[in-house]
Amino acid sequence: MIETAKRAELLSKIAVFSALSSEALNELASLLEEHKTRAQELLFKKGDQGENMYILAEGEVRVHDGNHVIARLKAGEVFGEYALFDTESRSASVTTEKHCVVLVLDRSALMIFLKAYPELLMGMLQLQIKRMREMNELEEKLSKSYIKISKQKQEIEKQHEAIKGQKSTLESQNESLEELNKQKKQLLSIIIHGLKNPLTSVRSMAEMISSDNLMSEESKEYLSILIHAVGRIDLVINDMIRTNQAEVYQTDMVFKRIDCKKMFEDASLEKYMELNRNNLKLKLPDSPFYFYQNLATMQLVIDQLLAWVITIANHNQSVLVEFFNLDGAKRIHIRFKPLESIQRFVSINELSWWQIIALITRYKYDKIAFAQNLFDQCQFALNWRYEEAQLAIIVTL
């Protein structure tokens, strides 16, 4: 076991705890739980609900999203600290690279410690303000890069039109466009992992601090700075994410012969964990169902349909998926029993489909608008029916 003095030394090197007295560090160190791990052991995965902070005492870990490695951490570094302040799911997975020793601090232990040492709140607040300033600098750099990339893309598109008949030049321009798209995706990845997650932590911390009636005027000023900065950055992030989503389904508008049954099978595999968690099983026809459509568009449509099923279907049932040819039109019917708590909404037949979505899933306006724009863009008709305790989602292609 790692001695208390050694634990306290590790804590003192962490910015948020560095201002604590030796007595406080020793007491906090005694609350840490020590765990030894094997190499390639998953400590937690993306999407888990967490309430623990980890201090890596020995070894090395990788922070990753699937096969994409976001960071590698070594002894003395900290991860998972946002879970101490909010209940959001983990934004990435963490796996050990070799044998490790980790010290774990859970949220309940920290709350007990804060009652005895409230000065830690000020240290947390100062650290978050420092991070917000760094995020503001990153936001400015990202904005400049985004403008530069947009100008480059516009210029490439002009050149593409000017030399349309020259195959070799077109191939070169297409490679340049693909590289620009990669850069844009990298920028969005930085925004999501570098900005979006701390925003949730800052918001939770601000709510926790604002409930303290004994808060000083200086603390109120810090809190005002935090709230203002969070609002500015959140607007920028949401706007860029919506822009990226709008571009996805407008690209690659090549129509191909597609097997709708196969696409549902592939999509259900990708959403296996979510379907399995609710014990939902897709019941598909035995035969394939072919039609001509844009592949990327249909992937988005089917992903959207499954997302609604996962959100509003009652657990422990088979979801019936059927395909029809009616008067030259292709139709997809999805039937299932909805959650009992929302049946009173779906039984109101005079509501439009997007009003039903808003009521039963509490979607924000931008998500509803994106779904509506997606189906309109593809000239698909979308209808909802509720009959005999079954909800049917009908898409006419």
Domain 4-116 fold: Jelly Rolls (2.60.120)
The two tokens of residue 179 are 């590289």
Cα–Cα distance list, 265 to 162, 208, 243, 256 (Å): 43, 45, 29, 18
Mean pLDDT to the nearest integer, 26-48:
92
Query: Is pLDDT larger for residue 269 or for residue 366?
Result: 269
Q: How far apart are CA 207 and CA 289, in angstroms?
A: 52
Q: Which residue has tokens 């592949």?
A: 295
Please identify, in words, the CATH class of the domain defined by 255-396: alpha beta
- Of 396, 236, 274, 383, give the one whose Cα is nearest residue 324: 396
- CA end-to-end span of the chain: 64
Check residue 252 and give its pLDDT: 45
Query: Is pLDDT larger for residue 298 or for residue 370?
Result: 298
Query: Is pLDDT larger for residue 173 or for residue 397?
Result: 397
| Sheet strand arrangement including 100-106 | 33-37, 100-106, 52-58, 78-79
Mean pLDDT to the nearest integer, 333-356:
72
What is the crossing angle of helices 217-248 and 365-377, to 10°? Answer: 10
Please check the confidence at residue 163 and state whether its pLDDT lies above 90: no
Where do the H-state alpha helices sit in 334-396? 343-346, 353-361, 365-377
Q: How far apart are CA 45 and CA 58, in angstroms?
A: 21
Q: How far apart are CA 350 and CA 354, in angstroms?
A: 12
Check residue 44 and give its pLDDT: 92
pLDDT digits (tens, 9 = 90+) for 169-180: 667 777 777 777
Query: Is pLDDT larger for residue 369 or for residue 163?
Result: 163
Check residue 312 and give its pLDDT: 83
Mean pLDDT to the nearest integer, 179-187:
64
Q: Are 289 and 323 in contact (CB under 8 A)?
A: yes
Q: Are strands 381-387 and 390-396 parallel, antiparallel or unpaired?
A: antiparallel
Mean pLDDT to the nearest integer, 48-72:
91
pLDDT digits (tens, 9 = 90+) for 257-268: 889 999 898 888
Check residue 362 and give its pLDDT: 55
pLDDT band at 282, cuts 50/70/90?
Answer: very high
pLDDT digits (tens, 9 = 90+) for 104-158: 988 888 888 888 888 777 777 776 677 677 777 877 887 888 788 888 888 887 8
What is the crossing angle of helices 119-162 and 217-248, to 10°? Answer: 30
Check residue 355 and give its pLDDT: 65
Check residue 34 and give its pLDDT: 93
Query: Is pLDDT larger for residue 67 or for residue 187?
Result: 67
Check residue 249 and give its pLDDT: 45
Query: Is pLDDT larger for residue 261 or for residue 349?
Result: 261
Lowest mean pLDDT among 68-77, 133-142, 372-381: 372-381
Q: Are strands 317-326 and 42-44 parallel, antiparallel or unpaired?
A: unpaired
